[in-house]
Structure 1
Amino acid sequence: MKKRMKKIVGAILAATMTMSMVACGDSSGSANTINGKTTAEGSDDSAISADSPYAGKGFNFSTPETIVMYVLGDKPADMDTVLEKANSEYFEPNLNTTLDIEFLNWSDYATKYSLLLSGGEQVDLIYTASWCYYNDEVAAGAFKKLDNEFIQTYLPYTYAELPEEAWKEIAINGDVYAVPKGKATFTAYNGAVVRQDLIDKYSLTTPDSWDNFKTYLEELANLQSETGVTALNTNANREQLFTLFCQENTLQGVTEGYDFLYQANNSEKAPAPEDIEYAYMSDYYTDYALQMADLASKGVWSANAINDTTDSQSYFENGTSGAFVWNSSVFTAGDNLESSGLGTYAVYDVTPDTKRSRGAYSVDATAITEKSADPERAALVLDYMKSDVDLNRLLLGGIEGTHYELDADGNRVTLDKAADYPWNGWAWAINRQDEPDEAGLDERAVAYGEHCDEMEFIPEQTGFTFDPSPVQNQYTAVQSVVSEYQQSFALGIYGKDTEKSIEEFHQALKDAGVDAFTEEFIKQYTEYKEANGI
């Protein structure tokens, strides 16, 4: 069934794109409707190398430009060195452009992201995702709509390389506002990295299930005065356990973002509309909040966690946290712990019997902002860093021979300087399908990845996207209420008053318009379901 649906969807998209190209005419010609500096009109590429992949394409590179790109994460120690090489060898000679990359740290991106887009700072490109304000900022008008003509003209190589489903997944009501990554992985599925040395020393419970993981955390919390290790050193910027809770209950998102769930029970069958719930209004969320309050009461994390902005991964890597929950990045955290000589690690699939889907291409993407003075040049910069293999690997992993090298099989070998520029530390949105695998990959990571492959499933409704514009006011108000309460429930702040606080939360959501928001979501989903015969 899923193979047949993929073929049908692919055929429809191919036909649609072909029609678009016919309507747009020759995409390498003039683009009179585009109001930027690097237009495909008045060609002048005398300022770039004749060997540039963009030479002779009709672009105007006469004016040198600086494009500012914002990404998430902590700035690598060798970032300036890598960026200098990228500019001097790639962007400046081949696009007459200098790229400036700025970082929004994990500790403050939540407060700075929207302010950055609405403020006066130059922002041409910015990381976005279904979990990182994509839907919100599209609704706010912060991201440029990328029509077919623009994409084919200013992202020509990306357009040729990205699979059709990537564009489909990033679209909102048929319109594209960001360029997705080129590789789909299990980024939405979480596992737990734990302190194996402490498990062995104190005979702690093996955290190989949701209940056993909670028991492990509670046991470790009881030993904190002796070990100096917080069981789960979490904070206000990362909700570590909700995804695991959803996996335990086989709860699947209907689409990326928007927080509508259904109980999949490991089935690929699309849910009936009446089985879909808004996560925060569900009994599941009440159960989750009560479990978090219980863990908080047992000292699993600091009572001051709500005021903590330190990255949770750093806590595990420096030996002060007994666990860290995320996607395959948990192996990086474990490797860094062991390389520092602070302990040993193990990674557990806490919900091993739960089917899992690959994260959509839209899980990581790059948007061109509406306030960019030259969106065409910004698009070409993005196209270049995604499509040129050498430039792409430079940005992903640093300087070959310094930070990594490729072995005879084409796999990457980590070198001593890799800690100063970790592979894929920030560039998730420009991943390519041909990214080299790590040589000598830890057998723990190999086994984990193989199990994920074995347990993969593809829900029938994959590809459905929601357009919030008919209920934009309600959606915005609901998001505001969620932001007010969400992290407090995740950290068990309300304690014995959790159920009462849930009732207040639900009333606030109703006052904000959650019923209208839900009704519109179900309406659009039902229409999609009927139109696609699923």
Structure 2
Amino acid sequence: MRGGVGVARRQSLLAKGAAWAALSVLLTAGCANESGPAPVRGVSPATSATPTTLSIMVPGDRSPDFDLVMEEAERRMAEEGLHLDIRMEFVPWNDFGTRSEVALASGEEIDLIFDAPWLHLNEMIASGYYEPLDVMLEQYGETIVAKRPRQMWDANRSAGRVMAIPLGVSHVMSHSYFVRKDIRESLGVPPIRTYEELLRFAYLVKEKAPEVVPLIAGGTRSQQLYSQAAFRHYFDDTDIRPTQALDSSLMLYYRHNDGKVHNAFKEPDSPVRQWVEEARRLYVDGIMHKDVLGIKDFQEPGASGAVAIFPTGSFHVGELAQEKLRETVPDGELESVTFFDDTPGANVSDFGQWNFIAVPVVSKHKEEAVRFLNWANEKRNYDLLAYGLQGMHWEPLGGNKFKLLNTGYNQPAFVWIWNPTDDRLLADDARTEELTRFIRDADNFTPDVLTGFEFDGSSVQAELDRYNRIEAEYYTPLFNGVIDPASAWAAFEAEAGPALEAIERELQRQADAFMRK
């Protein structure tokens, strides 16, 4: 887990879940298990049938069939000696950062809560709001531990301790562009294989289908890694990655897996600067949505048919996304276009995860909370909570895959139970399945030399706060081409350059010390 995020930056990231809200609509849930009932590890028969109420706070919306699924879950738990009454509070993504922070600061009684490094995980750990879990995992969490690879546990500790359980299934994110396949085919364009072909298609859409906006990207502060220029780093062979000091920004970045920190202000020929120049051309040429900075959910126009290309965090176009498009464009169809290089060893990973679930120190039911998660990480139970009722919401297929039957239960596993062992793959084309399996295998990645490194920003807290206040004014306009980099870079650097340089120096000092060890 990464630390050192300033107060101003934390406040700017409180709404970052908005991007994930959009992604969660596009990531389809579903699944089940072919095996019979499994024992609940670490759970001894209860002496009383009176259930313990377990309060869980997660971002997102309650599925229509959520209560139906939870009835089955509580019935199973009771049969296996775990008597719990699960009370889930669902908080809209845009409000979750503030709501959860207030709840933790006020001592509200919560037994499990979602958090993330891009939200306020490190600040909450530093403030002492979360319970260390090493001992309880050893006592009651055997299945939780077993379902995650060693690399995931080793890379996601805080000061050597497990302060929250990592929720992840892969070691890099599955980024792609969702593209209007029906438009592509109507224009006689073959399947898109390269980024250059993607841009040629965007210009052709402007010319031949002017009623559709060619391209949109993330335009808010919380979505800045989905901005046009920043999204390039997921596919470019420059191996550029954000740093632990500014993990949603490319103004400081790593490259070549050597631990050296790069500063975009100091490198005029940096690929990051070139991507910003390209974003400006796309905006001036009318390819980028003219209101890119004003659209809160950047994927909504694409999902509703108004935009032909938009970035996502998935290799797979889920049925929910297709259904939403067909509401406004009956013959519309989305396809996923990715330029991910699946050559073993070609990609660097620090095995850090983006989502976690934690046990607040104020919880009066810490043991029960860990036991519940242990139960939920059994295959049969994971299938239920991740995908709903077998035969009603989904059906299993071979190879740990599944078919979605209806969307009445769409409760993303990545906010409370996600694990890489039990998570199923939606039946899809062979290439998408191949890519998805590839990113779930830790051995396919070259370990980052800074794996496990935590940045302590306390000595440059004032600079972090100042820099983040200024970056909020410049980053997304620059990285989406809305303002002219010819003048904006100089203005941005004049205001933020000294603070960024101080952060860079301290980050490099700590990174060097980490590598010497």
TM-score range, shorter chain: 0.7 to 0.9
Once the two structures are TM-superposed, the CA of residue 396 in structure 1 deviates from its matched residue by 0.9
Distance 1:302 1:483, change over 3 A: same
**In the alignment, what sits opposite 2:375?**
384
8 Å CA contact 1:234–1:305 kept in 2: the answer is: yes
8 Å CA contact 1:235–1:309 kept in 2: the answer is: yes
**In the alignment, what sits opposite 1:505?**
492
Q: Equivalent of 2:255, from 254, 263, 278?
A: 263
CA–CA separation in structure 2 for the residues paired with 1:279 and 1:170:
28
User: Secondary structure of the equivalent of 2:240?
Assistant: strand
**In the alignment, what sits opposite 1:252?**
240
**In the alignment, what sits opposite 1:232?**
216
8 Å CA contact 1:221–1:231 kept in 2: the answer is: no
User: Secondary structure of the equivalent of 1:308?
Assistant: coil
CA–CA separation in structure 2 for the residues paired with 1:139 and 1:254:
22
CA–CA separation in structure 1 for the residues paired with 2:242 and 2:289:
34
Once the two structures are TM-superposed, the CA of residue 169 in structure 1 deviates from its matched residue by 0.9
**In the alignment, what sits opposite 2:338?**
349
Once the two structures are TM-superposed, the CA of residue 525 in structure 1 deviates from its matched residue by 1.9
User: Secondary structure of the equivalent of 2:332?
Assistant: coil
Matched, 1:362 2:347: no
Q: Equivalent of 2:478, from 463, 474, 489?
A: 489
User: Secondary structure of the equivalent of 1:360?
Assistant: coil
**In the alignment, what sits opposite 1:465?**
453
Once the two structures are TM-superposed, the CA of residue 392 in structure 1 deviates from its matched residue by 1.3
RMSD of aligned C-alpha atoms?
A: 3.8
CA–CA separation in structure 2 for the residues paired with 1:371 and 1:396:
27
Once the two structures are TM-superposed, the CA of residue 366 in structure 1 deviates from its matched residue by 1.2
CA–CA separation in structure 1 for the residues paired with 2:54 and 2:471:
34
CA–CA separation in structure 1 for the residues paired with 2:350 and 2:201:
28
8 Å CA contact 1:230–1:322 kept in 2: the answer is: yes
User: Secondary structure of the equivalent of 1:406?
Assistant: strand
Matched, 1:125 2:112: yes
Unmatched segments (≥5 aa) in structure 2 = 1-38
8 Å CA contact 2:58–2:113 kept in 1: the answer is: yes
CA–CA separation in structure 2 for the residues paired with 1:123 and 1:502:
45
CA–CA separation in structure 1 for the residues paired with 2:294 and 2:103:
22
8 Å CA contact 1:217–1:232 kept in 2: the answer is: no
Q: How does 1:145-156 map to 2 (within 5 A)?
A: 145-146=132-133, 148-156=134-142
Once the two structures are TM-superposed, the CA of residue 335 in structure 1 deviates from its matched residue by 5.1
Distance 1:232 1:280, change over 3 A: same
Distance 1:322 1:448, change over 3 A: farther
Distance 1:514 1:141, change over 3 A: farther
CA–CA separation in structure 2 for the residues paired with 1:279 and 1:122:
44
Tell which has more relative contact order, 1 or 2 (C-alpha 8 A, sep 6+).
2
**Counterpart code for 2:376:** M
Deviations 1:15-72, CA, capped at 9 Å, x for gaps: xxxxxxxxxxxxxxxxxxxxxxxxxxxxxxxxxxxx7544449x99897543332333
Distance 1:410 1:249, change over 3 A: closer
**In the alignment, what sits opposite 1:33?**
none
- Using the aligned pairs only, state the percent identity: 18
What TM-score comes out, normalization by structure 1 length?
0.73
CA–CA separation in structure 1 for the residues paired with 2:416 and 2:429:
25
CA–CA separation in structure 2 for the residues paired with 1:529 and 1:310:
40
Q: Equivalent of 2:512, from 498, 523, 526?
A: 526
8 Å CA contact 2:156–2:353 kept in 1: the answer is: yes
**Counterpart code for 2:392:** T
Distance 1:122 1:375, change over 3 A: same
User: Secondary structure of the equivalent of 2:422?
Assistant: coil
**In the alignment, what sits opposite 1:45?**
none
**In the alignment, what sits opposite 2:86?**
99
CA–CA separation in structure 2 for the residues paired with 1:392 and 1:450:
19
Instruction: Give the structure with the higher percent helix.
Output: 1
CA–CA separation in structure 1 for the residues paired with 2:42 and 2:437:
40
Q: How does 1:168-317 map to 2 (within 5 A)?
A: 168-181=154-167, 183-187=169-173, 189-203=174-188, 207-223=192-208, 225-226=210-211, 228-229=212-213, 231-232=215-216, 234-236=218-220, 237-239=222-224, 240=226, 241=228, 242-253=230-241, 258-259=246-247, 260-264=252-256, 270-271=257-258, 273=259, 275-278=260-263, 283-310=270-297, 312=299, 314-317=300-303
| Bigger mean CA offset, 171-180 vs 300-309 | 300-309
Once the two structures are TM-superposed, the CA of residue 110 in structure 1 deviates from its matched residue by 5.6
**In the alignment, what sits opposite 1:332?**
318
**In the alignment, what sits opposite 1:416?**
405
**In the alignment, what sits opposite 1:162?**
148
**In the alignment, what sits opposite 1:402?**
392
User: Secondary structure of the equivalent of 1:70?
Assistant: strand
**In the alignment, what sits opposite 1:318?**
304
User: Secondary structure of the equivalent of 2:55?
Assistant: strand
8 Å CA contact 1:54–1:95 kept in 2: the answer is: no
**Counterpart code for 1:344:** E
Once the two structures are TM-superposed, the CA of residue 180 in structure 1 deviates from its matched residue by 1.2
CA–CA separation in structure 1 for the residues paired with 2:286 and 2:89:
37
CA–CA separation in structure 2 for the residues paired with 1:363 and 1:335:
26
Once the two structures are TM-superposed, the CA of residue 385 in structure 1 deviates from its matched residue by 1.8
Aligned length: 462
Q: How does 1:71-82 map to 2 (within 5 A)?
A: 71-82=58-69
8 Å CA contact 1:144–1:370 kept in 2: the answer is: yes
Deviations 1:258-296, CA, capped at 9 Å, x for gaps: 4352233xxxxx41x4x3225677644433333333323
What TM-score comes out, normalization by structure 2 length?
0.75
CA–CA separation in structure 2 for the residues paired with 1:184 and 1:452:
5
Distance 1:429 1:327, change over 3 A: same
**Counterpart code for 2:374:** D
User: Secondary structure of the equivalent of 1:219?
Assistant: helix
User: Secondary structure of the equivalent of 2:85?
Assistant: strand
Q: Equivalent of 1:137, from 113, 124, 129?
A: 124
| Bigger mean CA offset, 320-329 vs 135-144 | 135-144
Once the two structures are TM-superposed, the CA of residue 436 in structure 1 deviates from its matched residue by 5.8
**Counterpart code for 1:349:** T
Distance 1:143 1:526, change over 3 A: same
| Bigger mean CA offset, 104-113 vs 196-205 | 104-113
Distance 1:171 1:252, change over 3 A: farther
